[in-house]
A = this chain, B = another copy of it.
């Protein structure tokens, strides 16, 4: 049921820009560098209603140059909704019918919150060059003032993309008791050296603009616009992907422009759409942003470095209580996937609950603002089901392999910690959670399955085991690892088995037995690669690139110093059952389930 808020194009309308003011008197608002600000002004917007327990808060942290207007229209005449409107509103991923959503302009900004262009109450003049340097932590502390000012008591979830992710992580670190969930998107533990290099150049371009005047330019007729525009052009390229730019500006399609460009109206002008596009981005930015704000916020971003600040990433996260959803974007090279994955690894290592997602996009870093379809699904499911009131009848998911689950369940002890490699939509962990009270995490490579895991409330890491393995999981983190119908698809199953037995005390391996009488018969009598219920593929398209028999598995375990503690078989055919019963396992077993541990 939607609340009584009005809508326009399916979005909230009207939404209202509000201002929070707090005077900190002589003491001042303390910054992390020890300096103070006499007062805080914070521009913000809220959507939805704060509930009675005042804890249905979703806090949106804005990226570098965005403002507090994240959702809805100011009026029906308003042409453009807030910058993440696709994600926030009644019935949307961040559902304003359920949640009280807040977004504020960051400290240091120029969109209504205290920043370098604000009047310093101590002098009556704009701060300009005297504005103190700020940190991401300062931004979060300022937001906490607003949080308290609004009467909020608990944070259902803090959400942030890009630099917003920096803030969201700091929220979870600074206020572990408040923050229940944390969604970070297209972010990293710090800027890469490459990204930082671009920052250095952009900063030099602005501060070396002859009109910069050490930041005291507010009374000048000409401001450091040339520098700011060029810095923005540069930054804008880093928000796009190479492949996205190629598609957008493919020169072959601009044949006409290009031929025109041969006339060279100015010596070096290429007269390509790419040039006018970048120049437009620069000019547009100068119209809406202040150079000092840009420098200060960029500097806070440059200095953000959880590893250096806390000694290690794992240490940075050691006290957080939030469950984390971490999303990276495939073509993002400003906050590249491998940097984002380090956050996931550290959270795993710190024993935190994390779900990680790898979104495929051609839009580069900007993808999180542009391509919100799958992202919305993930965010919605991560936020869902935990707050909806139960209607008393919990639906039991349909299992494709119910017998599998019973058998596997019988091998796992109550309350165990379980890692499921190749977990699909998380049905097995969900089943084990409900029947054996296990806590678990899955690893899965397909996005669709990951979304299923979110539906099933199973924490999951999106990962191709062939590519990245599990080396980031701490030794002894799990009682059991399960690799169900997956080992035969792995390029290097032996290395993976050994890795699994580093992170888990026991591994439950299941695989189709290529020594089964029907497989042998197919090859022996028909001279063909077998096809069966367990091996349903043709030789040329099977994902089972590793074929093995029960005997092969015994031999391998012997060689690797592994102990087979239990072995069970899943047989459907009568002959299989008979053969297995009389001890001819390698002939009889259709599907093998083995519990294996390291020889001690």
Q: CB within 8 Å of B: which residues of A?
A: 33, 129, 133, 190, 192-194, 196-198, 200-201, 203-205, 207-208, 210, 215, 226, 230, 233-234, 237, 240, 242, 245-246, 248-252, 255, 258, 262, 264, 267-268, 270, 272, 274-275, 278-279, 295-296, 298-299, 302-303, 305, 307-308, 333, 336, 492-494, 514-515, 519-520, 523-524, 526-529, 539-541, 545-552, 555-556, 586-587
Q: Determine if B515 and A527 form an interchain contact, defined as CB atoms under 8 angstroms apart.
A: yes
For residue A254, give the distance in angstroms from its CB to the closest CB of chain B: 9
Q: Determine if B245 and A192 form an interchain contact, defined as CB atoms under 8 angstroms apart.
A: yes
Q: How distant is the Cα of A298 from the Cα of B268 in the complex, in angstroms?
A: 9
Which of the residues B226, B233, B250, B528 comes within 8 Å of A549, measured between beta carbons?
B528
Closest residue of B by beta carbon distance from A262:
B33
Q: How distant is the Cα of A546 from the Cα of B540 in the complex, in angstroms?
A: 6
Q: How distant is the Cα of A295 from the Cα of B523 in the complex, in angstroms?
A: 70
Q: Given A242-B336, A528-B555, A547 and B547 touching (CB < 8 A)?
A: yes
Q: Determine if A515 and B528 form an interchain contact, defined as CB atoms under 8 angstroms apart.
A: yes
Q: Determine if A233 and B245 form an interchain contact, defined as CB atoms under 8 angstroms apart.
A: no
Q: Which residues of B contact A268 (CB under 8 A)?
A: 133, 203, 207, 295-296, 298-299, 302
For residue A347, give the distance in angstroms from its CB to the closest CB of chain B: 19
For residue A555, give the distance in angstroms from its CB to the closest CB of chain B: 7
**A contact patch SS:** helix
Q: Given A515-B527, A527-B587, A529-B514, A274 and B193 touching (CB < 8 A)?
A: yes
Copies in the complex: 2
25 A-B residue pairings within 8 Å (CB atoms): A33-B262, A129-B267, A133-B268, A190-B251, A192-B246, A194-B240, A196-B249, A197-B237, A197-B274, A197-B278, A204-B230, A208-B226, A208-B230, A210-B210, A255-B308, A268-B302, A492-B540, A493-B540, A515-B523, A520-B524, A527-B586, A529-B552, A539-B547, A539-B548, A540-B548
Q: Which residues of B contact A203 (CB under 8 A)?
A: 268
Closest residue of B by beta carbon distance from A259:
B308
Which of the residues B190, B234, B249 comes within 8 Å of A234, measured between beta carbons?
B234
Q: Given A196-B272, A308-B252, A552 and B528 touching (CB < 8 A)?
A: yes
Q: Determine if A200 and B275 form an interchain contact, defined as CB atoms under 8 angstroms apart.
A: yes
Q: Which residues of B contact A230 (CB under 8 A)?
A: 201, 204-205, 208
Q: Given A192-B246, A523-B514, A540-B494, A201 and B333 touching (CB < 8 A)?
A: no
Q: Determine if B539 and A546 form an interchain contact, defined as CB atoms under 8 angstroms apart.
A: yes
Q: Determine if A193 and B540 form an interchain contact, defined as CB atoms under 8 angstroms apart.
A: no
For residue A290, give the distance in angstroms from its CB to the closest CB of chain B: 15
Closest residue of B by beta carbon distance from A526:
B551
Q: Determine if B547 and A529 form an interchain contact, defined as CB atoms under 8 angstroms apart.
A: yes
Q: How distant is the Cα of A515 from the Cα of B539 in the complex, in angstroms?
A: 13
Q: Determine if A193 and B494 form an interchain contact, defined as CB atoms under 8 angstroms apart.
A: no
Q: Given A207-B268, A278-B200, A550 and B527 touching (CB < 8 A)?
A: yes
Q: How distant is the Cα of A275 from the Cα of B268 in the complex, in angstroms?
A: 30
Q: Determine if B201 and A267 form an interchain contact, defined as CB atoms under 8 angstroms apart.
A: no
Which of the residues B210, B242, B267, B279 comes within 8 Å of A192, measured between beta carbons?
B242
Q: Determine if A267 and B552 form an interchain contact, defined as CB atoms under 8 angstroms apart.
A: no
For residue A115, give the distance in angstroms from its CB to the closest CB of chain B: 14
Q: Which residues of B contact A555 (CB under 8 A)?
A: 528
Closest residue of B by beta carbon distance from A277:
B197
Q: Which residues of B contact A551 (CB under 8 A)?
A: 526-528
Q: How distant is the Cα of A230 from the Cα of B258 in the complex, in angstroms?
A: 28
Q: Determine if B193 and A246 form an interchain contact, defined as CB atoms under 8 angstroms apart.
A: yes
Q: Determine if A201 and B528 form an interchain contact, defined as CB atoms under 8 angstroms apart.
A: no
For residue A374, give the distance in angstroms from its CB to the closest CB of chain B: 25
Q: Determine if A245 and B194 form an interchain contact, defined as CB atoms under 8 angstroms apart.
A: yes
For residue A301, give the distance in angstroms from its CB to the closest CB of chain B: 11
Q: Determine if B524 and A539 form an interchain contact, defined as CB atoms under 8 angstroms apart.
A: no
Given A205-B230, A494-B540, 5 extra CB contacts under 8 A = A133-B264, A201-B234, A201-B237, A268-B299, A524-B524
Q: How distant is the Cα of A246 from the Cα of B193 in the complex, in angstroms?
A: 5
Q: How distant is the Cα of A295 from the Cα of B201 in the complex, in angstroms?
A: 19
Q: Which residues of B contact A296 (CB under 8 A)?
A: 268
Q: Which residues of B contact A251 (CB under 8 A)?
A: 190, 193, 305, 307-308
Q: Given A515-B527, A524-B523, A193 and B302 touching (CB < 8 A)?
A: no
For residue A551, give the distance in angstroms from its CB to the closest CB of chain B: 4
Which of the residues B192, B200, B520 comes within 8 Å of A233, measured between beta carbons?
B200
Q: Which residues of B contact A240 (CB under 8 A)?
A: 194
Q: Which residues of B contact A529 (CB under 8 A)?
A: 514, 547-549, 552
